[in-house]
Copies of this chain bind each other. A is one copy, B any other.
Amino acid sequence: MTLSDLTGRVNDLLCAANLLTWDARTQMPPAGAQTRGQQIATLKGLARELILSEEMRRACDKALVSTDGEDDDTPSRAEALAVSAAIAHHSRLPARLLQAQAECAPMAQAAWAEARARSDFRLFLPWLERTVMLAREQAECLGYAGHPYDAMISIFEPGETTASLAVLFDRLRAGLRPILAAARRADQPRSDFLFREYPEARQRAFAEDLAMRLGYDFSRGRLDTAVHPFEVSFTRQDVRITTRFNRNYLAASIFGTAHEVGHALYEQGIATEYTRTAHATDLIGLYAVGGTSFGAHESQSRLIEMHVARDPVFWQHHFPRLAGHFPEQLADVTAAEFAAAITRTHPGLIRVEADELSYDLHIMLRVEIEKALMDGSLRPADVPEAWNAAMARDLGLAVPDDAQGCLQDVHWSSGYIGSFPTYTIGNVMAAQVMDELRSTVPGLSSDLEAGSLDSLHAALSTHIWRYGRSLSRDRVLRRLTGRPLDPEPYLAHLAHRYALTFAIQG
């Protein structure tokens, strides 16, 4: 078999694993959970075995030789390099460690769920200690140049390090401070109408309409309900999204849907010829996905959510349609009032409910703690104290209990350490891409003002989506914008948006 045949089989296995996950979260009867985890583990384990097989190693070596001298950006060279990196990665992790992590995760998750329900950190502590110990062992196996946290970050966001993030985050903190301070001083816009009663069926009808208008192709996907919304794909031919409906908060389903549509456009937009290839497969994370990194993926979801669907211009065109779905609930609301309401700031304790201005502070807090756990400068037992101190320092908030503090996120209990930075990278990249496209693509801004996303879709497809994983995130950004990740457009976007919101209010 050729390298492409071999990676095609890995993609098939991981697409199947994705479907088992989608089904578990949207369709599966409760008792199915008992055997589903093992089924997914077997599929991923076999994918890893195929990557480490003699046949794959031989095909990879051959491809490395035959593409030697090609630019790393050519699809064939990129494929050989991706497979080679995956073989190296998986070779370094002993089966014993993977087994220990696989056994730890479900028990850690159960303990975390109980700890959060009772707001009792002590119930989770032994499992956090074990998760951190295994992550530190994993970092030692994988190796790193600077800091053990680097090994974890690189799984989710190749190219980023503890040091590169420190530079990024320092600039963000400094830039966010005056915008946040101004936001706190300003009167907040009216938002009472968002909390009226919105029947689920009509929210669903609007969400489907919205997804379609944002460019989601329903002939290659579907929209379901899930407790924690997500997007998942089984090749570009079948890319599914989920959302949730809160009867008394209209914004949840609208912006949750827009966010997942952003992820889905990336997956639906990968070039057809990359179907079932390494360019549509995370061979290190063992996940069928076309986005080139977690951060790049988040950039597309945040671009659609924040730069399209939360743009006041968008609601000039779509508010009448929304009001048509909810004529009683929105009878006393204008498009401008709606746009202002969805931009109000309200720093709170919970990350997933955070507004655009404070979201990154939640992320930076977690990254600070993860880094300290990885180098041993923070003991797991001291996480609540560190969390609460950082929350007081960064957001000026007192944490009343650990359920609303360090127990709020599922990530650590799932064994994920190192994924949080990608949320902020996504925010930064979204603004950088949008800023570049607005200034270089003729007609893009005027099309958006006229209510058309066609120019935007075409530009994102040309510069980002179609490449899949064949170009790294850094290469995508450099090709498009001429420079690496840069926080300035993001800070400028926030300053502009919140100045605008206050102006409307004022």
Query: Footprint of B on A, CB under 8 Å?
Result: 8-9, 12-13, 15-17, 19-20, 23, 27-36, 38-39, 42-43, 45-46, 218-222, 234-235, 237-238, 275-276
Contact = CB atoms under 8 A, between A and B. Distances in A.
A487 B27 CA distance: 42
A45 B10 CA distance: 12
A238 B29 CA distance: 7
A275 B36 CA distance: 12
Contacts of A46: 9, 13, 46
Given A16-B20, A221-B29, A222-B29, A234 B9 contact: no
A31 B276 contact: no
A234 B38 CA distance: 12
Contacts of A218: 29
26 contacts: A8-B42, A9-B42, A9-B45, A9-B46, A12-B39, A12-B42, A13-B42, A13-B46, A16-B20, A16-B43, A19-B20, A28-B238, A29-B220, A29-B221, A29-B222, A29-B238, A31-B238, A33-B237, A34-B237, A35-B234, A35-B235, A35-B237, A35-B276, A36-B234, A36-B238, A46-B46
A159 to B, nearest CB: 30
Contact of A275 (B33, B35, B238): B35
A4 to B, nearest CB: 13
A33 B219 CA distance: 11
**A218, A219, A234 — which one has the most chain B CB atoms within 10 A of its CB?**
A234
Contacts of A42: 8-9, 12-13, 16
Contacts of A238: 28-29, 31-32, 35-36
Given A16-B16, A19-B19, A19-B20, A237 B32 contact: yes
A237 B20 CA distance: 14
Contacts of A219: 29-31
Given A9-B42, A16-B42, A35-B237, 12 more contacts: A12-B39, A15-B39, A16-B43, A19-B20, A19-B23, A23-B23, A27-B27, A30-B219, A32-B234, A32-B235, A32-B237, A39-B234
A13 B235 CA distance: 19
A12 B43 contact: yes
A417 B188 CA distance: 72
Nearest to A32: B238
A217 to B, nearest CB: 8
Nearest to A33: B237
Contacts of A45: 9
A49 to B, nearest CB: 10
Contacts of A33: 237
Given A9-B42, A12-B42, A31 B234 contact: no
Contacts of A12: 38-39, 42-43
Contacts of A38: 8, 12, 276
Contacts of A35: 15, 234-235, 237-238, 275-276
A16 B29 contact: no
Contacts of A32: 220, 234-235, 237-238
Nearest to A43: B16
Contacts of A28: 238
A349 B276 CA distance: 44
Nearest to A224: B27
Contacts of A13: 42-43, 46
A45 B5 CA distance: 13
Contacts of A36: 234, 238
